[in-house]
Amino acid sequence: DVQLLESGGGLVQSGASLRLSCVVSGFSFSTYPMSWVRQVPGKGLEWVSGISGSGSRTYYADSVKGRFTISRDNSKNTLYLQMNSLRVEDTATYYCAKDGNDYTNPNWFDSWGQGTLVTVSS
Amino acid sequence: SYELTQPPSVSVSPGQTASISCSGDNLDNKYACWYQQKPGQSPVLVIYQDNKRPSGIPERFSGSNSGNTATLTISGTQATDEGDYYCQTWDTVIPVVFGGGTKLTVL
C-alpha cells in the first residue's frame, strides 16, 4: 500500500520559516516525481512545487518562487518543503502528492497524503 | 498564465448522468485529469490522461477532452459521488494547473 505522511505544520508568525516533511512507503520513491499541493480552508487546490525523482529538477508556482524550496532525500524516502518568509496568504493545508508517471516533470497525482495545516498569523 | 475554468456547482438526481466541464485554451493539446474530494478528506484521482480510470474507480466515471473543454461524466450518479471535483492539467511550461473546483450535489 502506498502511504504518504506529512508533518511539520503549525502556527507561525508572518515572516517566519517552517519545514514540512513527507515520509512515504509502498513504492519506489526515487522513481517518481513528487509535489506539494495546498488548499486554503474552504477553497480550491493550488499546486505549490514539484521535484523530479532524482531531485535534479525542481518546479515552483509563481506565488512561492524565491521563498519556498522543495527537496528530497531518496535514502530516507522523504520529501521536504522549506518555507521561508511566510505570509498570511500561505495559510493552508499542505498535501504531498505522488506523481502517477515516472517522467521528470509533474503530471498527475495518484496518491495523496492526509495533509498538514500551516497557519500564518499577522 | 494558463487557467482552467469549472462551473462552481452541478446538481444531479440519483441515477442520472452528471457532466462537469473544464475549459482552457486548446486544452485538448494537453492531458487532463480529475480528482474527487469529499469533506475532510484528501483528493482522490478518478480520471487521468483524459479518459483513463485508476484501479478501484467505478466504471461510471469517464472522461473526455476535445477542443477547449475536458468533461468528467458520471453515469448512474450515486449519493456517494457527492463532493468537490477538480480538473488539472500540466505541461513542461505551466507546469501544473488546477481548475477552481465544482461542487457536485446529488439531490
User: Does residue A101 surpass a pLDDT of 90?
Assistant: no
pLDDT score recorded for residue B1 = 84
pLDDT score recorded for residue A45 = 98
Q: Do A100 and B48 count as a contact with CB atoms less than 8 A apart?
A: yes
Mean pLDDT of A39-44: 96
Report the chain A residue with the minimal C-alpha distance to residue B33. A108
- The more confidently predicted of residues B91 and A30 is A30
CA distance B102 to chain A (A): 9
User: Does residue A96 surpass a pLDDT of 90?
Assistant: yes
Chain A residue numbers touching B101 (CB-CB < 8 A) = 44-45
Confidence of residue A67 (pLDDT cuts 50, 70, 90): very high
- Mean pLDDT, chain A, rounded, equals 96
**A3: nearest Cα among A118, A96, A108:** A96
User: Does residue A4 surpass a pLDDT of 90?
Assistant: yes
Lowest mean pLDDT among A10-19, A65-74, A83-92, A104-113: A104-113
* Angle at CA of residue B98, ends A95 and B42, nearest 5°: 30
Mean pLDDT of A34-53: 96
- Mean pLDDT, chain B, rounded, equals 96
Instruction: Report strand pairing: A68-73 vs A92-99.
Output: unpaired
User: Does residue B92 surpass a pLDDT of 80?
Assistant: no
Q: Which residues have C-beta within 8 Å of that of residue A63, sequence separation ≥ 6?
A: A46, A48
pLDDT score recorded for residue B95 = 87
| C-alpha to C-alpha distance for A35 and A25, rounded to whole angstroms | 15
Alpha-carbon torsion (B101, A32, A113, A1), positive or negative: positive
Mean pLDDT of A100-106: 84
Q: Do B42 and A110 count as a contact with CB atoms less than 8 A apart?
A: no
